[in-house]
């Protein structure tokens, strides 16, 4: 039996290179080795206000992006979270065993709630519990995500262990898979922050659907640190970030990337980097456009069906262990 992978992204904003390098690229690399489930987490999206028409569109667009990245529907299961109602049901159960204190420690809530807990939605607060539900429903072994999700993964592990201890062995305790390179791609404008969908300054992020001109302009405008050499250096996060992107776009090792730019200046480096990103994204963008709607619908329907079978079985076990019985169960 293959071990299982589960991961997902929210259908909000525009996906950027950070999302691809930190998450999607690794999903594609791991999908042959594991039985994989890749979810479009639309229930997570509504923890912040969304325009319904935009959300509907972005949900399908994200499925296209998964496919264009190389997630293969013949071997992986792609589905929309709201198609499998067990996600919301198990989230309720887990919210009864999660503690206020442990959720209060989640740093993403503090960021997204802008430090104002009084005004933040309750769903934003319990967001990591829904994420734990996503993962635990599938008896997931490995969760490939970027570094910003590490704390959420630890909560998922704690909830699984607590449930197993209180009600008997039920859940696989999941491990995070955080790639050694690319797990924290930084903003091109403010390298102290991660590249983010919700950044007000669009110049900080390279979106996967940006055209060649926009990409080139954003890279030319990227801030650089003092110094002139093109080298990895912890004290120079801006140049290290650009080199990381270059390395991952071209498949070079860090040493090869540095050697390639030995004796060259920032201007030369930025032109080559822009070219590498544009060339990398060109076929990807074509695949996004080419995807047929009917085919997409079928993939998502089949995916939901496969997911539901496993989710149902886990939830049934959870209810049985807890003594939750209805007239029909």
Q: Which of 197, 252, 264, 306 is catalytic?
A: 197
Choose the binding region for ligand AMP from 86-94, 183-191, 286-294, 299-307 (rule: CB under 6 A).
Answer: 183-191
Nearer of residues 45 and 239 to ligand TRP, judged by Cβ: 45
Choose the binding region for ligand AMP from 74-82, 125-133, 151-159, 177-185 (rule: CB under 6 A).
Answer: 177-185
Q: How far is the CB of 152 from ligand TRP (least distance, A)?
A: 6
Nearer of residues 84 and 208 to ligand AMP, judged by Cβ: 208
Considering the rule CB under 6 A, would residue 10 count as an interface residue with ligand TRP?
yes
Nearer of residues 9 and 93 to ligand TRP, judged by Cβ: 9
What part of residues 37-76 is at the interface with ligand TRP (CB under 6 A)? Answer: 41, 44
Considering the rule CB under 6 A, would residue 112 count as an interface residue with ligand AMP?
no
Considering the rule CB under 6 A, would residue 143 count as an interface residue with ligand TRP?
yes
Tokens representing 11 are: 């259908």
**Residue from the set 90, 98, 131, 145 that interacts with ligand AMP by CB under 6 A:** 145
Considering the rule CB under 6 A, would residue 245 count as an interface residue with ligand AMP?
no
Contact in structure between 7 and 23 (CB atoms under 8 Å) = yes
Q: How far apart are CA 187 and CA 205, in angstroms?
A: 6
Considering the rule CB under 6 A, would residue 23 count as an interface residue with ligand AMP?
yes
Q: What are the phi and psi torsion angles at 262 (to 5°)? A: -55, 130
Choose the binding region for ligand AMP from 77-85, 96-104, 143-151, 221-229 (rule: CB under 6 A).
Answer: 143-151
Considering the rule CB under 6 A, would residue 218 count as an interface residue with ligand AMP?
no
CB atoms within 10 A of CB 57: 12
Range 237-270 burial, b when 16+ CB lie within 10 A, else e:
ebbbbbbbbbbbbbebeeeebbebbeeeebeebb
Q: How far apart are CA 120 and CA 142, in angstroms?
A: 31
Q: Is 112 a residue of the active site?
A: yes
**Residue from the set 110, 197, 260, 264 that interacts with ligand AMP by CB under 6 A:** 197
| Contact partner at residue 143 from ligand TRP, ligand AMP, none, CB < 5 to 8 Å by partner kind | ligand TRP
What are the residue numbers of the active site?
112, 194, 197
Q: Which residues make up the interface to ligand TRP (CB under 6 A)?
A: 6-10, 41, 44, 131, 134-135, 143, 145, 149, 152
Q: Which residues make up the interface to ligand AMP (CB under 6 A)?
A: 9-10, 18-19, 21-23, 145-146, 148-149, 183-185, 194-195, 197
């Amino acid at each position: 039996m293959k071990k299982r992978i589960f991961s997902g992204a929210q259908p909000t904003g525009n996906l950027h290179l950070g999302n691809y390098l930190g998450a999607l690229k690794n999903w594609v690399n791991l999908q042959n080795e594991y039985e994989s489930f890749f979810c479009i987490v639309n229930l997570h999206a509504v923890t912040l206000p969304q325009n319904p028409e935009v959300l509907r569109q972005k949900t399908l667009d994200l499925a296209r992006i998964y496919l264009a990245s190389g997630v293969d529907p013949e071997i992986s299961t792609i589905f929309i979270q709201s198609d499998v109602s067990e996600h919301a049901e198990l989230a309720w159960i887990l919210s009864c065993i999660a503690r206020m204190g442990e959720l209060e420690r989640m740093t993403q809530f503090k960021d997204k709630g802008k430090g104002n807990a009084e005004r933040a939605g309750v769903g934003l607060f319990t967001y990591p519990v829904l994420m734990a539900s996503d993962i635990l429903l599938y008896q997931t072994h490995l969760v490939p995500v970027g570094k910003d999700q590490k704390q959420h993964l630890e909560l998922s592990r704690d909830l699984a262990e607590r449930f197993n201890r209180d009600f008997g062995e039920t859940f696989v305790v999941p491990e995070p898979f955080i790639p050694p390179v690319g797990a924290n791609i930084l903003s091109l404008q403010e390298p102290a922050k991660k590249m983010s969908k919700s950044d007000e300054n669009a110049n900080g992020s390279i979106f996967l659907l940006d055209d060649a001109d926009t990409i080139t302009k954003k890279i030319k405008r990227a801030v650089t640190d003092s110094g002139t050499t093109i080298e990895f250096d912890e004290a120079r996060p801006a140049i290290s970030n650009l080199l990381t992107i270059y390395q991952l776009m071209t498949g070079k090792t860090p040493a090869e990337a540095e050697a390639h730019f030995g004796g060259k200046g920032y201007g030369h480096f930025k032109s080559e980097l822009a070219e590498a990103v544009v060339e990398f994204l060109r076929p990807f963008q074509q695949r996004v456009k080419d995807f047929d709607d009917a085919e997409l619908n079928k993939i998502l329907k089949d995916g939901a069906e496969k997911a539901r079978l496993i989710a149902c079985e886990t939830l049934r076990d959870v209810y049985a262990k807890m003594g939750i019985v209805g007239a029909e169960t």
